[in-house]
Amino acid sequence: MTGTAAGVSRVEVRPGLVLEPQHPDLAPGYFALVERNLARLARWEPWALERQSLAGIRAFLAWQAQAAVSRTQLPFVIVTDGEQVGSCSARLDAADGAAEIGYWVDAAVEGTGLAAESIGALVDHVFARGDVFRVQARTAVHNARSRALLERLGFALEGVQRSGQRLGDRRIDMAVYAKIRNAD
């Protein structure tokens, strides 16, 4: 795997755990990862309700890489010991000095602390840019693991967006969390 892609540098979390910039060359492994987790992720993620394809994943990763070039996204694949085990990204809003993060991990690594390490490193990386003062995350109210992860990382619950996201033929409430730089 390369150290950079589309102007985004690899983030070394710790030995054996890296955030690898998303790029189309990762598509075969990323597709396998998505396929393994699709049914589980469909409880929270609208995109997971749709059938996925290798070509679609390759196009998505190319789009993410282009967004990185335009400096509107920091998209990463979570890689441990050479294996793709999740995804995390930050959507950047330069005008507001804010970012919104998203993430998911393979069911096989849930509960190992790997997600907390990876998302913590992503947030640190975003704040280290110097131009972001607020990092926000939205998660389904019923996604207890994601909510607990954000709280462990020092995010504060700001409220609930009632019917904040469409999920198939229904709408779900979304918990909104934020962390402010230097607000420890």
Who's near 79: CB < 8 A, 6+ residues apart? 1, 17, 18, 19, 20, 85
Question: How does pLDDT run across 82-106, given as a tens digit for each residue?
Answer: 999 999 999 999 899 999 999 999 9
Q: What is the pTM of this model?
A: 0.92
Q: Which domains does the chain have, with CATH numbers?
A: 4-131 (3.40.630.30)
- What share of the chain in percent tops pLDDT 70? 95
- What share of the chain in percent tops pLDDT 90? 91
- What's the Cα-to-Cα distance from 72 to each of 6, 46, 94, 109, 132, rounded to whole Å? 12, 21, 8, 29, 12
The token duo for 143 is 């996604």
